[in-house]
Amino acid sequence: MKIVTVVGARPQFVKAAVLSRAFAARGGAIREVIVHTGQHHDPNMSDVFFEEMRLPKPDHHLGVAGGSHGEMTGRMLEKLERVLLEERPDWVLVYGDTNSTLAGALAAAKLQIRVAHVESGLRSYNRAMPEEVNRVMADHVSSLLFVPTPRAVENLREEGIAGDHVVPVGDVMFDAARHYAALATPSPAVRDWMAASGGGHLVATVHRAENTDDPARLAAILGALGDISATRPVVLPLHPRTRKAAGAWSPPATLHVVEPLGYLDTLCLLRASAGVLTDSGGLQKEAFFFGKPCLVLRSETEWVELVDGGHARLVGADRARIVSEAAAFLGRDLGEAPALYGDGRAGERIVEALLRA
């Protein structure tokens, strides 16, 4: 069986590493061809993940980055179609909700190649988010839908998608966190910063278009992080999009702004933290995996079970609310985490389902 894996963004490299290991464990039963669209092209957002997670180097690199959502997706479609015509795979595997996901799913569907969507069925019910459009459309052209949670199964059923091709497997990011946390040691720079902070630090990330493309929202969030850093250590790995959108913003000396971190450094920083502030779906879950409370810098989340269970709180971009909730919630002991995302064997279940199909 030949599978073309389409990746392009930071979270997809983490998820793909799980499946690549699972494919390799089956010997020669599966041949994986990795296509990197180029959506995240900064070395700190791409190369470091392939190196530290031992993800096989891409067989094809499309070099598509920048431009509007439509322009980027269109260029990816054109180049992916050529790759798929050359490779003629049995399956195209896509992850999550990025432009790379949508382009991979559409290119395969138009060529009548079966699509498998990992992390299917998630919904924020906010169609203003590009990610929501991408994940909905990918689900509706997929032949196998690998869902991480019972809520995701219900979301798909409400849209008329049900049957044996909807496969509950758990969350591949839980697989990754379990595997790599056992291997992770901090780089010297991260180790030194954690030692200097004296413990109890907070981890913050901001990258969603709804925040970076709205100057008022971005100013409120960055202002809140600065306010919080006056009383407790905050580290902010700054996404290239956010850095560009922030323009002449000058962070206060108390806010530790760093370049984007690799996955292993992120895990180390997260494990030692008192909590997380983020608009990232992946980091919301990683906070949960390590028992850390999380403030979600959005008005809704596709990971609704985290909010329902009291593990995360939605705070939007309200500066005063972010500061207030950080003081009240971050650092709290959440107790033993329930098994919301499976048992860490999602990758194995996905491989088994592909081989059966």
154 vs 165: CA distance, rounded Å: 14
207 is catalytic: yes
Q: Strand 275-278 and strand 294-296: pairing?
A: parallel
Evaluate whether 72 touches 43 at the Cβ level (below 8 Å): no
Tokens of 221: 């969030």
Q: Give 59's DSSP letter.
A: S
Work out the number of other CB atoms within 10 angstroms of the CB of residue 231: 11
Q: What sign does the dihedral 64-70-75-79 (CA atoms) show? A: positive
Among residues 117, 201, 207, 311, the one annotated as catalytic is 207
| Residue 295: partners with Cβ closer than 8 Å, 6 or more residues away | 275, 276, 277, 278, 312, 313, 315, 322, 325, 326, 329, 330
Which residues does the annotation mark as catalytic?
Answer: 207
